[in-house]
Amino acid sequence: MRNKIFFITCIFILTVVAIRCSTKCPGFDKSIILWMPYNTGDTLLLKGNSYTDTLIVKLVQANHSDKLKRRAKCVCENSYIISISSNKWQTSINYFDSKDYKNSNIVINNEWLDFSNYTDTLYIGGTLYTDLLIYKNRTIYPDNTIESVIVSKNQGIVAFCEKNDSLWITDKQKNTGNIITYERKGCE
C-alpha cells in the first residue's frame, strides 16, 4: 500500500512538473539597436535638392519573450520597431529578429522596402558612411515615390532615394535620455 501511494505521488509530481515546463527564448540582442539608434522624441532634418522636412521619432520599441509555456500557440519574439513621421512621411522600421538585420523591412507611406544588401562604404551628400544596409522598394509601380532607403550603423537612416530626388539626413537632434520601450511578451 505504501509503495502504491509513493508511486501515485511520484506520477502526480512528474505530471505537475511536465505541465509547468516552458521553453526559454533566446535573449534580445541589443546590437540591433545600433542600426536605428533613436530615442522617442529625436528629430531628423531631411533635405533634398528641392525639399526640406523634419521627421520626429514617435516610437522606439523592443519586444522580447522570455519564455513560452509548453504547447504555446506562439513563437519567441525579439523584435525592434521604430516609427518616424512628419506631415509628408509615415515611416515604420521593423527588425523582426534582433539577431538578424536582414530579417527587416521599412514601410514608408504604404510602400514596402525590403533589405536588399549590405555595403561597407558609400559617399552620400559629400559624407562618407560605413556599414550600410540598403532597402529597396519591393514593387515597381508608376506612382511609387521611394526607390530605396540607406541605413548606416550607429547613424540610422542617412538617405531616402526618390525617383526624382535624393533626400538625406543632414542633422539630428537627440532627445535627452534613453526612451526605448521594452515590452515583455508572453502567450498562453
Domain contains 89: yes
Domain contains 73: yes
Instruction: Say if residue 10's pLDDT is above 90.
Output: no
Each residue of 121-178: pLDDT tens digit? Answer: 998 878 899 999 999 998 777 677 888 999 999 999 988 888 776 667 766 666 555 5
Is the Cβ–Cβ distance between 15 and 135 less than 8 Å?
A: no
Domain contains 1: no
Supply φ then ψ for residue 25, to 5 degrees. -90, 155
| Confidence bin at 27 (pLDDT 50/70/90) | confident
Which structural domain, as residue segments, surrounds residue 102?
Answer: 25-185
Domain contains 33: yes
b/e burial code for range 59-73 (CB count within 10 A of at least 16 → b): ebebbbbeebeeeee
Long-range contacts, 182-186 (Cβ 8 Å, 24+): 182/61, 182/62, 182/64, 183/61, 183/62, 183/63, 183/64, 184/64, 184/65, 184/66, 185/63, 185/64, 185/65, 185/77, 186/65, 186/66, 186/67, 186/68, 186/69
Residue (of 36, 12, 1) closest to 131 by Cα position: 36
Per-residue cell: 79: 523584435
Domain contains 121: yes
Instruction: Say if residue 26's pLDDT is above 60.
Output: yes
CA distance 67 to 69: 7
Is the Cβ–Cβ distance between 180 and 39 less than 8 Å?
A: yes
Higher pLDDT, 110 or 68: 110
Domain contains 18: no
What is the model's pTM? 0.79
Per-residue cell: 78: 525579439
Domain contains 15: no
Into how many domains does the chain fold? 1
Average pLDDT over residues 73-80: 80
Average pLDDT over residues 68-85: 81
Burial of 24 (0-12, 13-18, 19+ CB in 10 A): exposed
Is the Cβ–Cβ distance between 144 and 161 less than 8 Å?
A: no
Domain contains 10: no
Each residue of 43-65: pLDDT tens digit? Answer: 988 887 777 889 899 999 988 88
Per-residue cell: 139: 514593387
In sign, the C-alpha dihedral spanning 184, 57, 178, 126 is positive
